[in-house]
Amino acid sequence: MTQTATHMSHAPVSILILEDGEIDREMYRRLLKKNADIDFQVTESTSYLEATKLLQDHRAFDCYVVDYQLPDADGMAFVREILSRGDGRVSPAIVMVTGQGSEEVAVEALKLGVSDYLTKKRISEGEFVQPLKNAIEKARLRTELRHYREALERSYKDMSDFAHTASHDLKAPLRRIAAYCDMLQEDAASRLNDDDKGILDRMSTNARRMQQLIDKLLAYSKITTQQEDRQEVDLNNLVRDVIEECAQEGAADKIVAGDLPKAHAYPEKIRQVIINLVGNAQKYRDPSRPLEVHIDGMDVTDHILMSVADNGIGIAPEYHQAIFQDFKRLHTQDDIEGTGLGLTICRKIVQMHGGDIWVESEPGKGSTFYFTLPHRRNGNSG
């Protein structure tokens, strides 16, 4: 084992070269020395066993150049050794080198986690330092990406924990207020005048509304924090379940679905969208006629188009966009209860699938909500 170092102003890059051929090592040394802008601190090794011992004794290296054919093992075994030692948080830059080059070996090496694959012929033509620099940069970016992903997951979890705790802590005193209101209404009814009873009524109504608002806010926070696998979803089954649930709440309502396509989606979240849209159709019904809701869907070239149509009170054109904003309501609480978050949740969910949501509606006639989802053929998107 020999160690050489050049002194440059940039941070040094430690590199382990595992190569049994003296002439090849000499070539690598020469090419690295010619490089002007990186201070490569080179450690050389000639066998799998020696290099493995170096890994045991030494800290990890920034970059590895590994010959595929070694006297005591193949280079792939050493790559596995490198990868098994890391904690998976830092990606090492590994370049595999072979005599002749084989497509099979190249594929196997890249699959294993090697950054690049070079033949000795290419190296002898001077192609060595740039691939090493690329491999180092690629490894650095991969490491950075992993750190960002971990930080994002941590912050999602923190947010989710916070929302849970906050909703729990807010709901507990509210439940107590509602319970005290009930107690007063029952026990002190004879001592209260009509005004007092009215005030008590409003207190318990507001406590209940606050509970609904907290539930909706929690549902809103779960859109991005709740983990669920994206998968092929048969919308027929999903919509049938929702219809059964909603039909129990409005027994006389006619809620029907056409033949629906499959989507590549988060099933629980799409369920939430359908529940919110059907729930709104029931809530904003026209009292002068029985409610009819039609759920349809079709495959369009590169996405799925879903629609939920009702014959309810409809929405004036100037509100067709505003209703998707946070807390936007067109009715007072005394008129029709709500939080103004139902459509916001729908919009968020559809957007996280890469889709769009909009409404077409005429006051007095009804509304049709449309949304798009990725097609099952785009299965790997997102």
Q: Which residues are near ligand ADP by CB under 6 A?
A: 280-281, 283-284, 310, 312-315, 323, 328-331, 338-344, 367
Of 114 and 323, nearer to ligand ADP (C-beta) is 323
- The Cα–Cα gap between 283 and 313 comes to 10
CB 314 within 8 A of CB 365: yes
Of 176 and 331, nearer to ligand ADP (C-beta) is 331
The secondary element (H helix, E strand) that includes residue 306 is strand 303-310
Both tokens of 308, joined, read: 């939920």
Cβ-based neighbours of 63, under 8 Å, separated by 6 or more: 13, 14, 15, 16, 92, 93, 94, 95, 132, 135, 136, 139
Of 75 and 355, nearer to ligand ADP (C-beta) is 355
Report, in Å, the least distance between residue 370 CB and ligand ADP. 12
Report, in Å, the least distance between residue 187 CB and ligand ADP. 34
Report, in Å, the least distance between residue 342 CB and ligand ADP. 3
Of 99 and 363, nearer to ligand ADP (C-beta) is 363
Of 98 and 344, nearer to ligand ADP (C-beta) is 344
Report, in Å, the least distance between residue 341 CB and ligand ADP. 6
- The Cα–Cα gap between 115 and 65 comes to 10
- The Cα–Cα gap between 322 and 329 comes to 9
- The Cα–Cα gap between 100 and 120 comes to 7
Of 240 and 320, nearer to ligand ADP (C-beta) is 320
Report, in Å, the least distance between residue 216 CB and ligand ADP. 7
Report, in Å, the least distance between residue 223 CB and ligand ADP. 14
Q: How many CA atoms lie within 13 A of 157 on its CB side?
A: 6
Q: Helix or strand or coil: residue 97?
A: strand
